[in-house]
Structure 1
Amino acid sequence: MASITATSFSIASFNPTKTLVPGCRISNPSSVFISFKGRTFAPITLQGRAPRFLTCAAKAETVEKVCDIVKKQLALPDTSVVTGESMFSALGADSLDTVEIVMGLEEEFGISVEEESAQSINTVQDAADMIDKLLQTKIA
């Protein structure tokens, strides 16, 4: 039995004749055909998703600080990899842990996060983007 593990990817411009990955052909934005050693497998149907546009990305220093705070709050070992794409739930955080992370972020950055904003944070990148936005409005 074979399995394929992949992370998410996005297509900035779609060209149906271009092969993005050897053995992988995208026939349209909603399905992928995979062939391996001459054998073609059934198409994989991709779930539709509304495009996400980021108006600004957080500074690398902010993301790094958030990663450190998340690791500290969740008592993760030094060998744990936490990146901007890391989801709090995937790191083992429950709702109380998320509240404690937000409190740690507020203390570290000298900001105040509204409850509505805190509930929309799912990833380290979400938190870093929110922090940079709050810091910009604080300066203005």
Structure 2
Amino acid sequence: MTQEQSIFERVQEMIVDRFGVQEDKVTTSMTFDDLGADSLDVVELVMELEDTFNIQFEDDKIEQLSNIGDAVSYIEELKK
């Protein structure tokens, strides 16, 4: 398993738990709007991601995340 797969799979698991969507529906191209997430949901998810991966998102970067793939890529970038 590559690091990319493990990060995506963990993010996918967190989204399934938090938003109650089916695992096979969570893709890298899925947007936060697709999840029905409002800004508070996104902030709570980011906080959970920060705790899980022991990273710190920059506030301006959070606003630039348009889909799940963007979040996974940013986590990978921070983990380097």
TM-score > 0.5, shorter chain as reference: yes
The equivalences for 1:22-33 within 5 A come to none
Q: Which runs of 4+ in 1 moved over 6 A?
A: none
Confirm or deny: 8 A CA contact 2:4 2:76 kept in the other structure.
Answer: yes
Distance across 1 between alignment mates of 2:10 and 2:23: 16
CA RMSD of aligned residues (A): 1.7
The TM-score, its normalising length taken from structure 2, stands at 0.86
Give the corresponding residue for 1:85. Answer: 29
The counterpart of 1:70, out of the listed 9, 15, 23, is: 15
The TM-score, its normalising length taken from structure 1, stands at 0.51
More strand by share: 1
The equivalences for 1:1-140 within 5 A come to 59-74=4-19, 76-78=20-22, 81-136=25-80
More helix by share: 2
Identity of aligned pairs, percent?
32
Which protein, 1 or 2, shows the higher relative CO under an 8 Å CA cutoff with sep ≥ 6?
A: 2
- Bigger Rg, which one: 1
Unaligned runs of 5+ in 2: none
Unaligned runs of 5+ in 1: 1-57
Distance across 1 between alignment mates of 2:44 and 2:18: 7
Say how many residue pairs are matched.
Answer: 78
